[in-house]
Structure 1
Amino acid sequence: METAEREAILAAVPLPMIHIAEDWRLAAANAGGRALVGAAALGRHYGLALRQPALVEAIEAVGRGAAAREVRYAVSPSVAEQVWRVTVAPAPGGGAICSFLDITEQELIGQLRRDFVANVSHELRTPLTALLGFIETLQTTAKDDPVARERFLAIMAREAGRMTRLVKDLLSLSRVEAEERQRPAGSVDLAGLLSGTLSALRPVAEAAGVELELLGGAEPLAIRADADQLTQVFHNLVENAVKYGGSGKRVSVRLERVAVDPGLRGPGVMVQVQDRGEGIDAIHLPRLTERFYRVDAHRSRAQGGTGLGLAIVKHIVNRHRGRLRIESEKGKGSTFTVVLPLA
């Protein structure tokens, strides 16, 4: 194959491609291929640029006359690992042609799916094990002990409630993710929605010794939104603030207009939920909206949390084309800010 013809063919392919000649030199590469192996590798032995055993074995086998084959090739640049599916095929006139398909996202989705299944299994296994243990005890040694029976039944009810909340949150998360690309079409009075949310949670706050206050919600403020989902967002955020904000302290919910928000590139409305609790270490902040991520797993479970609340909040805010910001400092409390666009 003529050099000009080979270069033109490689340049026309959108995937990274390299040509390895019969003498095992990197004879040519398109722009993507050069970015992958480095322009300095051209003209040198391919093993200086491609060092992974599976790929080296495939290239040598194909170069000696074997049929085309596919191998996995992972590289670790400065930011994150990239994974490629490499097709190694015989080249006209000898050698091999390697084409690289980026499957990083597919691998990430697969890993997320496996982690999700493992997390759900773990979250369900604990209450199920407790239920089975107590059922067995009630059927045998505690069968005629009314005091033990009442205590065990109370624990069983709590564990069953935990599983119910988990299933409910899983269904809610699935529904929110399915609707995330569909922007809501309804209109909601955000001031009235926040007032109703605080009224519903006031008994919970009083039981926890926490005072709730709404700042800036005197005037009606209509936005394009799904009322049920926004109620879920602020119910989650305020309930978390009450649970982790510390007894005898105050949780403030502030509502105000924003003339221009950099993230929205236009006017918006900001809702801040602020507690005066012990705060969250900065190392945890980037991961708070991940599914099942907990700062204190034992305390979260004891409070009835499923580890999905902030993941649900994130997806609902995304559906409304808004932004979620989290700020916290140890010993000074936390502030969760939701910014939503105005029509």
Structure 2
Amino acid sequence: MDEPQFHEPMSPLTVARARVVAQGGLLAGILGVFAALVLFGEIGIVAALVSFLVVVAGVAMLPSGRITVTRTIELPRPEIVADTGAVFAFADALADPCLVLDRRSVVLHANAAAGRQFPSVVRGNPITFSLRNPQLVGAIDTAMRSGSVRSIELHETVPSETWEKVLVSPLRRPGRDWLEDEDRQLVVTFQSLTELKRVDALRSDFIANASHELRTPLASLLGFIDTLLGPAAKDAAAREKFLGIMRGQAERMSKLIDDLLSLSRIEMHQHVRPTGSIDLAGLLREVREGLMMQAKAADVEIRLSLFEGPSTTTGDRSQLYEVFENLIDNAVKYGAAGKVVEVTLAPAGRPGLQHMITVIDHGPGVEPEHVPRLTERFYRIDADVSRKKKGTGLGLAIVKHIVSRHRGQLSIKSKPGEGMRVDVFLP
């Protein structure tokens, strides 16, 4: 491709001078002729000099079309260079953490998300000063040496368990060899996989636990049916006993399926805030009345204390009924030794929350290490005791999800020998 050129305009004097220079050969020849004439005496020196000056003037006055004078100026070749500012602006536009590194793996830029997630990352420091994961360091080194994109998955357990998908991408400059480019850069992006991993683990645990919970009563039913069809076919007493047990197992499976369906419905509408208006005082009275027979059978008194004042909140009546039914039912079942279950409604005293409903039993309580896990699905401190009391292990999980849907808060406190206290805070 020809070099770029342009013709620079010249003054008339410069043009005349250039024309004389361009005709230097011709003038030199003419000058030689005049010198020879003078030498041989054919013309005087003065005449020869005047004549030569006339010839020079004539050359200078030649039309411009006869002589073309140009000056060629070479322009530098255009060079495509990546706009570092644009790269930084693009990184800042990303919602995920993003780092820009130079050829020495020094941090040139970290967007806001990266600053929040990796506060130890400092611009101007090598990435290894703050992020020392061997997989990450290896991916950066490989991408820097090869100029190819590297994708890895990082699993960290400290300070909490997290998963990240990391993409290390070379920032190539057109027309430059990657390894020879002194200004080569890498873009490192992080995409969180933590929630996806936790949902997958939760789903796997849920399926495993649900199948286990159903398998046990089903096995019992099949065993009793085989017994009734075989050895106990004509034994009226055994038949009556086994049918009672079978009914209990069937009720347990029915309760488990009802709780699973309830939990599924709650999760389906978790993001939709309820809009109904509910009188909490009236709702708690209704729940207490519904559990009176059960409490009487367990020799437990349910004491209800309501403050004088407005107790209206926004919520789903059937779901909130389920919350307090579960809590009071658990208190009656597992705190029966205390003989009293206290239910109170009072002002919350927390920003954005107006009502606090407290359920307290005076039973054996639980060890502190169990308290944070009580709202997990199918979590039981004593599985045998829970099954005997027809618990499904889903009650508190349902409570937690309903309270969360109502934009409330749930607090559980317990110590061995001091019973359990559950506080529900609602707007």
Fold agreement, TM-score > 0.5: yes
Runs of 4+ in 1 over 6 A off after TM superposition: 1-4, 217-220
1:16 corresponds in structure 2 to: 98
2:352 corresponds in structure 1 to: 265
AA aligned to 1:12 is: F
Q: Are the counterparts in 2 of residues 7 and 30 from structure 1 also a CA contact under 8 Å?
A: no
Q: Are the counterparts in 2 of residues 255 and 270 from structure 1 also a CA contact under 8 Å?
A: yes
> Equivalents in 1 of 2:303, 2:256: separation in Å?
29
When residues 146 and 224 of structure 1 are mapped into structure 2, their CA distance, relative to the original with a 3 A threshold, is same
> Equivalents in 1 of 2:81, 2:158: separation in Å?
31
Equivalent position SS for 2:271: coil
Query: Gaps (5+ residues) in structure 1?
Result: none
Is 1:278 aligned with 2:358?
no
> Equivalents in 1 of 2:349, 2:297: separation in Å?
37
Q: Deviations over 1:60-102 (max 9, x none)?
A: 5545547534221223442x02321122334422475433222
> Equivalents in 1 of 2:199, 2:414: separation in Å?
30
When residues 30 and 47 of structure 1 are mapped into structure 2, their CA distance, relative to the original with a 3 A threshold, is closer
Query: Gaps (5+ residues) in structure 2?
Result: 1-78, 173-177
When residues 43 and 291 of structure 1 are mapped into structure 2, their CA distance, relative to the original with a 3 A threshold, is closer
When residues 321 and 49 of structure 1 are mapped into structure 2, their CA distance, relative to the original with a 3 A threshold, is closer
When residues 203 and 48 of structure 1 are mapped into structure 2, their CA distance, relative to the original with a 3 A threshold, is closer
Equivalent position SS for 1:30: strand
When residues 337 and 48 of structure 1 are mapped into structure 2, their CA distance, relative to the original with a 3 A threshold, is closer
1:187 deviates by 2.1
Match runs of 1:19-34 below 5 Å: 19=101, 21=103, 25-31=104-110
1:165 deviates by 0.7
Q: 2:207 aligns with which of 117, 121, 140?
A: 117
Q: Are the counterparts in 2 of residues 191 and 218 from structure 1 also a CA contact under 8 Å?
A: no
AA aligned to 1:89 is: S
Equivalent position SS for 1:26: coil
2:262 corresponds in structure 1 to: 172
Match runs of 1:1-343 below 5 Å: 5-6=83-84, 9-10=87-88, 12-13=90-91, 14=94, 15-19=97-101, 21=103, 25-31=104-110, 35=118, 38-39=121-122, 42-43=125-126, 49-53=131-135, 55=136, 58-59=139-140, 62-63=143-144, 65=146, 67-78=148-159, 80-92=160-172, 93-94=178-179, 97-216=187-306, 221-247=311-337, 249-256=339-346, 258=347, 261-262=349-350, 264-265=351-352, 268-341=354-427
> Equivalents in 2 of 1:81, 1:68: separation in Å?
26
- TM score, norm. by length of structure 2: 0.68
Between 1:56-65 and 1:276-285, the stretch displaced more is: 56-65
Pairwise CA RMSD: 3.1
Q: Deviations over 1:100-122 (max 9, x none)?
A: 22222222222222222222122
> Equivalents in 1 of 2:338, 2:107: separation in Å?
71
Between 1:60-69 and 1:124-133, the stretch displaced more is: 60-69
AA aligned to 2:154 is: Y
Q: Deviations over 1:128-157 (max 9, x none)?
A: 222233333333343343333333322222
> Equivalents in 2 of 1:42, 1:2: separation in Å?
28
1:304 deviates by 0.5
When residues 297 and 250 of structure 1 are mapped into structure 2, their CA distance, relative to the original with a 3 A threshold, is same
How many matched pairs? Answer: 331
> Equivalents in 2 of 1:300, 1:29: separation in Å?
58
Greater share of strand residues, 1 or 2? Answer: 1
Larger Rg: 2
Identity %: 42
Q: Deviations over 1:221-257 (max 9, x none)?
A: 433232211211111111111111124711121223x
When residues 39 and 193 of structure 1 are mapped into structure 2, their CA distance, relative to the original with a 3 A threshold, is closer
Between 1:320-329 and 1:138-147, the stretch displaced more is: 138-147
1:301 deviates by 1.3
Higher relative contact order (CA 8 A, sep 6+): 1
